[in-house]
Structure 1
Amino acid sequence: MRYWLIGLLFLVACDTGTTSFSGGKELVLSDTSRDASCTYMTRNAQGQIVVSWVENEQLYYAVSPDEGLTFSKGKLIPTTSGIQAHPENMPKMVFRPNGEVIAMYGTQSGDPRNKYAGKVYYTRSVDAGANWLPAQPLVTDTASYDQRYFDMALLPSGEAVTIWLDNRKNDTKEGSTLYIATTGKAPGFQKERQIAQTVCQCCRTALYVDADGGLHATFRDIINDTIRDMVHIVSADGGATFSPPVRISADNWAINGCPHTGPALVKNAQGLHFAWFTMGGGQGVFYCQSPDNGITYTRRESISALPTAKHPQITALKNGDLALVWDEAVDTSGSRIGIQHKAGNGEKIAAGFITSADAYANFPVLKTVGEGKVLVAYKKVKGKREEVCVQLVTL
C-alpha cells in the first residue's frame, strides 16, 4: 500500500464572519538555533501546565508555574534518542500521582517488511523527572515490527494506559490493529491486548478518560475495505472490555491512502464532542456530538470555511464551554491556526485566528487555563527554522 499525505491547497482571500480573540504574547519555548516540532501539552502531578516538543531527535519539556504566563527553560529528557519528528505521532508524557513520569515516543523501525514501520519506546522517571531510566520498547513480541500513532492517559486509579497501532492482526484485511496496555504492580506497561482491527495505519488515535472513569478511544477505521471514517469505542471497566466501533459520522470517505490527520474528543455535561478531518461528502474539519455516551451522534457541521483545515484538537473549559483549534493552509506559502469557541451544547459562539496567514503555523494543541482562557501550543516557521510557540488566548 502506498502511504501519502493529502495536501490540496486552495488560493483564497480571507475568511469572513470571524472574531478577533484576545491573544497574549507569543512565547517561543524551543531553542531557536535548532528545528523543533511535535508539540504536546499536559499537566504534571502538581497541576502545572507542561509543554513538550522534539529537538535534535530528543524530547524536551517546559513547565509553567502560572498557567501559561511564563515557562521554565526547556529541559532535556536524556534517555530519549532517535525520535522520528512526526507531528501526528508526537511524543507524549503522563505524570502519575505517585511521582512517576512516563515519556513515550516513536522512532523509525528500519524493518524491510515495511519501509514506513516505526517502533514505540518509553522512558520512566520515578522521582518526578529528576532522573530518567533507560528507554525500553513498548512491545517486546518479535512478531510486532510496526508500532505507531499511540496515545496515553491516566486512569482514576492513578495507573497509566496507552493505545497504539500495531502490525499484528488475526486476518488479512487492510489496516492495523489497535492495542492497549496499562501500568500495574510491575514497572512499565503490561497486559497488552487487541481492542480493534482494520484501523487506518497512519492517523493519530485519541484516548480520553472522562470524569466517571469511562475510557474512550477514537480512530479512523477502514470500513468495507475502502471507507476510512472515524469511529468511537468506550470502556466502562478500565479498558478490560470495549463497545463495538461505531461511526461518529457516515462520511463514506473512500480512499486507498493515509490522510495523516487524526480525531479529537472531549466530554462535558452535555455529552461527548468530536472533531476530525475528512474528504467524504465535503473536505475539511468537522464537529459532532453524542449526548448519550456514544449511542447516537448529531449531524456533523463544518468548522472552517476552508477545505484545507486539518489537525483539530478540542478541550472543555471550566464552565463546560468548548474550544477547538486546527490549522489551515491559506496558500502555497502560509498556514494559520484557527480557533472556535462553542457553548457547552455545541452551539458556535465565535471563531477566528490566532496567527497570521503568512506565518506558516500548524499542528496546534491546547489546554484550558483559568476562567475562559486556553493555552495553545504550535509549530511555527521563522526564517529557516521551526519553533515551538505558545500563546494564551481569552475566549
Structure 2
Amino acid sequence: MKKVLLFYSLIIFIFSSCHQGNNVPSISLSQEENIDSAQSSCPFLTKDNNNNIVLSWVRETGSDKAIVCYAVSKDKGKTFGNAIDIPASDNVYPHGENMPKIIFKPSGEIIAVWGAANKNPMNAYAGLVYYSISFDNGKTWAPKKLITNDTSSYDQRYFDVALLPNGEAAIVWLDNRKTTNKEGSGLYYAITKDNGGFQNEKLISESCCQCCRTDLFVDKSNNIHVLYRAIINDSIRDIAHIESKNNGQTFSRPERISNDNWVINGCPHTGPCMTENKEGLHCTWFTGGNEAGVYYTSLTHSDTAFSNKDMVSGYAAKHSQIASLPQGNLITVWDESLPVNDTYSTCIGLEEKSPDDKNILRRYITEKNSGASFPVICTVDKNKVLVAFTKSSNDKKTVVFKQVAFNN
C-alpha cells in the first residue's frame, strides 16, 4: 500500500512539475542580519520623510533598564546606519505587541512613541504612553510627554500612529477612560498641531479588548481607518473596524470585519493589521473562534462588507502583519509555534496573494526552531519586502532583519 501511495505521489509531482516549469512561484531570502549586538526586542519598520526605511527597536541597557533606538537605511534595507538613541525613552517597557514606534512628519519633525509600566492599585498591569520629539533630525530630543494630561487616565497602551494628508501625525490608543461600566478600554484619538505635539484627544469607540494591538491606517482617498479587538455582548472578542471620512472629526459605528464570535474571558495579545492596493482594503488578524488561526479578509471598492475570511495559518499562528507591493500583491507575515523534537519553538511564516486575493505561495522564512517572533514588514520595491523580528537564542534576544524577494 505504501508503495502504491508513493508511486501516485511521484506521478503527481512529475505532472505538476511538467506543467509549472519555471513559472513556479518562489522567493529569495537574504542572510539574517542583527541590528544590534546587545539584548534587544520589539522591532518596528517605517519610512522617513525621504522614503528611507527606518528600523526601530528596544535595546536593554541593564537590569530592568532599556531605551528606544532607531537606524536609517540608505540602501533600501540592505544595511542600516548607526543607531540613534532616544534619551527620554529610558522608562520604556519592552513588549512585542506594544512596540515603540517612530513617525516622520514631512516638516522634518520626528516623533518617537513608547509604552511604560504604571502599576497601581487600580490595575497592576496598567501602562502609560509617552512620546518625545526631535526637530533636528534626531540630534537632540525634547523631554518625554504623556499622551494625555488628564490625571484620570492611568492606563494607556497598545497605540498606533499614522501620517495624515495635511502632514500632521495621528495616534490611537487604548485607555481606561470610557463612558460605560462594561469591561474593556476606551479607544482614543489625537493629532499633532504644528510643533506642539499631540492634542485634541477624544474617545472614538468602546469597549475594546484591553491588551491587543490597534491599527491606524489612512487610505489613498484620505479616509482614516482604525482596527481593534472589540468586546461585544460582554463576552465576544472580535476585530472591529471604524472609519472617518471627514478628517477625523467623527468616526463610524464599529462593524466587525468577521463574525468569528470568539468567546474568551481574557486577552490574546495579538492585534489586527490593514493595508491597501488598487482593489481595496485588506486585513489580517488572529481569532480563536470556530477554527483558531491567523486569517485574511478584504473590502473591495465595489463591496459594502468585508469578504468571507480565508485562513492563512492554523491555531499556533499569531501576531500577523500585512503589506502590499506596488503592483498590488499582498504579503502577510506571522509567527507560529511548531514542535521541534520534544519541545516547541516559534518561526516566521509568509504568505503571498495576488491583488485579487488569490493564494500564490505560503512558506516559512526562518528555520522551524529559530525562536523567531513578532515579525514586522515593510515594502522595499516592486518585488521585495523587508521583514524584521525578535530572535531568541541561548537566553538572549536580538532584533534580526532579512529581505524577501518574489520572482513572480
Q: TM-score, normalised by structure 1?
A: 0.93
In the alignment, what sits opposite 2:183? 174
How far residue 237 of structure 1 moved from its aligned partner, in angstroms, is 1.4
Partner of 2:315: 307
Identity %: 45
State the partner residue of 1:316. Answer: 324
* SS of equivalent to 2:88: coil
Partner residue of 2:52?
48
The CA distance in 2 between the partners of 1:274 and 1:268, in whole Å, is 11
Mapped to 2, the partners of 1:121 and 1:27 lie a distance apart of 29
Counting only pairs closer than 5 Å after superposition, residues 250-329 of structure 1 correspond to structure 2 as: 250-292=259-301, 295-304=304-313, 306-329=314-337
Aligned ranges 1:60-79 → 2 under 5 Å: 60-79=69-88
Query: Which residue of structure 1 lines up, in the alignment, with residue 27 of structure 2?
Result: 21
Runs (5+) with no aligned partner, structure 2: 1-15, 17-23, 61-65
Query: Closer, same or farther in 2 for the Cα pair 1:125/1:161, shift >3 Å?
Result: same
2:140 is the alignment partner of 1:131 = yes
Distance across 2 between alignment mates of 1:24 and 1:81:
33
Corresponding residue SS for 1:303: strand
**Structure-2 separation of matches of 1:355 and 1:158:** 37
> Distance between the aligned counterparts of 1:106 and 1:366, measured in 2?
21
1:384 and 2:395 equivalent? yes
TM-score, length basis structure 2 = 0.90
C-alpha distance after superposition, 1:139-183 (max 9, x if no partner): 110110000000000001100000000001111011100000001
Match of 2:10 in 1: none
Give the Cα separation in 1 of the matches to 2:104 and 2:247: 18
Give a deviation string over 1:207-227, Cα, whole Å, max 9, x none.
Answer: 011111111100000000000
Matched with 1:351 is 362
Q: 8 Å contact 1:29–1:73 — kept in the other structure? A: no
AA aligned to 1:144 is S
Structure 1 position 186, deviation (Å): 5.4
Partners of 2:36 and 2:120 in 1: how far apart? 32
Given the alignment, which residue of 355, 360, 376 partners 1:365?
376
Distance 1:131 1:186, change over 3 A: closer
Give 1:205's match in structure 2, choosing from 200, 214, 225.
214
Question: Which structure features the higher share of helix residues?
Answer: 2
Q: In terms of Rg, which structure is larger? A: 2
**CA positional deviation for 1:243:** 1.1
Alignment-mate amino acid for residue 394 of structure 2: G
SS of corresponding position for 1:88? helix
Residues in 1 aligned to 2:380 and 2:400: alpha-carbon distance in whole angstroms: 16
Alignment of structure 1 residues 5-20 onto 2, 5 Å: none
Displacement of 1:293 in angstroms is 8.2
SS at match of 1:327: strand
Per-residue CA deviations over 1:267-310 (Å, capped at 9, x if unaligned) read: 11111101000010111100011114883011101101x32000
Q: Could you list the runs of 4 or more consecutive aligned residues of structure 1 that deviate by over 4 angstroms after TM superposition?
A: 17-20
1:330 aligns with 2:347: no
Contact 1:104 1:123 in 2 (8 A): yes
What is the match of residue 9 of structure 2?
none
Q: Deviations over 1:196-241 (max 9, x none)?
A: 0110000000001111111110000000000000011111112111
Name the CA distance, whole Å, in 1 between partners of 2:89 and 2:308. 43
Which residue, 21, 31, 36 being the options, matches 1:30? 36
Structure 1 spans left out of the alignment, 5+ residues: 1-16
Q: SS at the partner of 1:187?
A: coil
Give the deviation of 1:382 after TM superposition: 2.4
Aligned partner of 1:8 in structure 2 is: none
C-alpha separation between the residues in 1 aligned to 2:73 and 2:316? 32
| Equivalent residue, structure 2, for 1:13 | none
In 2, distance between residues paired with 1:248 and 1:140? Answer: 33
Alignment check: 8 A CA contact 2:172 2:188 kept: yes
1: CA distance, partners of 2:330 / 2:265: 33
The residue identity in structure 1 corresponding to 2:29 is: G
> Which amino acid letter does the alignment assign opposite residue 377 of structure 1?
A
